[in-house]
Amino acid sequence: MDKKALLKLDNGIEVELPILSGTAGPGVLSVKDLYKTTGLFTYDPGFVSTASCSSSITFIDGNEGILKYRGFDVNHLAENYDFTSVIHLLLYGTLPTPEQHKEFLLKTHKVSEQVVNVIKAFPNSAHPMSILIACFASLAASYHEQYGNNVNSQDLNFGISAILQVPVIVAMIYRHINDQEFINADSESSYSGKFLKMMFNSSEKIHLFTKALDKIFTLHADHEQNASTASVRLSGSAGSNLFASLAAGVTALWGPAHGGANEAVINMLKELEQSGNVDQFVIKAKDDKDPFKLMGFGHRVYKNYDPRARILKDTCHEILGKSAQNNKLLEIAVKLEEIALKDEYFIERKLYPNVDFYSGIIMTAMGIPSRMFTPIFALARTTGWVAQWYEMVRDKETKIYRPRQLYTGE
């Protein structure tokens, strides 16, 4: 029997609101008919208490520190499967058979000359995210006739094309901003191996860092209805094609409060390096009156340890052991981690190092510059965006997003 909540208004009107239950997590109070019934909207800045859709892709329990893709614990996936398997899981709902896995690895997709020209048109000093946005916008134009607003929701070729092209594009962006020639993909390598080859053309880096990068990709592949995913769904709800919607996702991800957080971590570590006094900055972070904040600590959703950080913490120290770099930033990061994990102030407030903290350190140890962190995040998250876009297209309850407002003007 469906549960309902009784809402009593001051004017004497009583409204019964259905309580909907999912397969896990808190139920939701359905207010979709509230305005029609009462003439009232709900007010929820930041949508912190609003479920905008139903989804079967990702489940998060922030209090317990749980993250699952299609019912599989993300730590189990990161430890036991490569990113190609995770792509298949998010798109199709099942892990691939050996034949399906091999078939996907052999897929290649060269980007068009049009996209290459878009990349080359930007100055070397441009932020890579601005170039990535332009590339997706260019692809939206190229694919609009073939895959317009009425794309067959069962045809995943469009989405697979995006997932295969984005590592090529991001690698090209890296090579361009470093004034280097582009490198073709190696069809025999893993997804992460291909990307590292196109980035660095180094067999040593592929050997050392493929598994670590696989874990970073897996742990960043999807994260429920975050700002960038909501942006993809919002754009898609208006009938925009996938690449146009992906451009919206990249735009949202660029923000330092979202995908730019790991870049902000490295910028903070550089600031600490210049000061030469980590302890003093920890004191500043604990002072509520001081605007300084430690980047990469705590998480809006997780009120426990970020489950993704557990895997990357171990990976981080493993990579630091392999890295030949004598990097002062990495030394500061390790010291900061030690302080935060022991200090009662951080423990009581559950301000543990999060996934952005460790991923930034790992990529720094790999020799990846900080301004490439967010594009690599976008590379991983493209799979989640694609899965979410297709789910939205298939959902019969999807309507064009139209939030309302509390008007306070003249």
Pick 333 or 312 by higher pLDDT: 312
pLDDT band, residue 29 (cuts 50/70/90): confident
Tell me, yes or no, whether 99 and 43 share the same domain: no
375 in the same domain as 264: yes
Domain that holds residue 167: 80-410
Q: What per-residue confidence (pLDDT) applies to 274?
A: 81
Catalytic residue among 109, 299, 314, 317: 299
Domain assignment present for residue 302? The answer is yes
Q: 169-173, 289-293, 406-410 — which one is most confidently predicted on average?
A: 169-173
Q: Is 326 part of any domain?
A: yes
pTM over 0.85, yes/no: yes
Q: Which of 89-103, 196-210, 232-246, 293-307 is predicted least confidently? A: 293-307
Is pLDDT of 367 > 60?
Answer: yes
Is pLDDT above 90 for 325? no
Q: Quick one: pLDDT band at residue 144, thresholds 50, 70, 90? A: low
Is pLDDT at 185 greater than 80 in this prediction? no
Q: What is the pLDDT of residue 281?
A: 82
pLDDT band for position 1 (50/70/90)? very low
Give the mean model confidence (pLDDT) for residues 136-157: 70
**Tokens in use for 335?**
């010291």
Clarify whether residues 45 and 192 are in a common domain: no
| Residues 194, 218 share a domain | yes
CATH code for position 353: 1.10.580.10
Of residues 167 and 320, more confidence is placed in: 167
Residue 74 domain flag: no
Catalytic, 290? Answer no
Bigger pLDDT: 151 vs 62:
62
Same domain for 110 and 20: no
Q: Identify whether 101 is a catalytic site residue.
A: no
On the question of pLDDT at 172 being above 80, the answer is: yes
Is 266 in the same domain as 359? Answer: yes
Note the pLDDT of residue 56: 95
Looking at the structure, do residues 279 and 396 belong to the same domain, yes or no?
yes
In a domain, 128, yes or no: yes
Give me the chain's average pLDDT, please.
Answer: 87
Mean pLDDT calculated for residue range 206-225: 93
CATH number of the domain bearing residue 35: 2.20.28.60
Residue 147 has pLDDT above 70, yes or no: no
Percentage of the chain beyond pLDDT 70 is: 94
Identify the active-site residue in 82, 222, 306, 356: 356
Q: 340 vs 151, which has greater pLDDT? A: 340
Secondary structure in 3-state letters for the chain: CCEEEEEECCCCCEEEEEEECCCCCCCEECCCCHHHHHCCCCCCHHHCCCCCCCCCCEEEECCCCEEEECCEEHHHHHHHCCHHHHHHHHHHCCCCCHHHHHHHHCCCCCCCHHHHHHHHHCCCCCCHHHHHHHHHHHHHHHHCCCCCCCCCCCCCHHHHHHHHHHHHHHHHHHHHHCCCCCCCCCCCCCHHHHHHHHHHCCHHHHHHHHHHHHHHHHHCCCCCCCHHHHHHHHHHHCCCCHHHHHHHHHHHHCCCCCCCHHHHHHHHHHHHHHHCCHHHHHHHHHCCCCCCCCCCECCCCCCCCCHHHHHHHHHHHHHHHHCCCCCHHHHHHHHHHHHHHHCHHHHHCCCCECHHHHHHHHHHHCCCCHHHHHHHHHHHHHHHHHHHHHHHHHCCCCCCCCCCCCCCCC
Residue 73 counted as domain residue: no
- The better pLDDT of the pair 104, 377 is held by 377
The domain total for the chain is: 2
Per-residue pLDDT for 323 more than 50? yes
Residues 266-309: pLDDT tens digits? 888 888 888 777 888 888 888 888 888 778 887 777 777 788 88
Write the pLDDT tens digit of every residue in 34-64: 888 888 888 888 888 888 889 999 999 888 8
100 and 184 part of one domain = yes
363-389 average pLDDT score: 93
Residue 349 in any domain: the answer is yes
Q: Are residues 28 and 111 in the same domain?
A: no
- In this structure, the answer to whether residues 384 and 290 fall within a common structural domain is yes
Give the pLDDT confidence score for residue 89 in this predicted structure. 97
Does one domain contain both 52 and 113? no
Residue 75 lies in a domain: no
Higher pLDDT, residue 177 or 352: 177
Q: Are residues 373 and 324 part of one domain?
A: yes
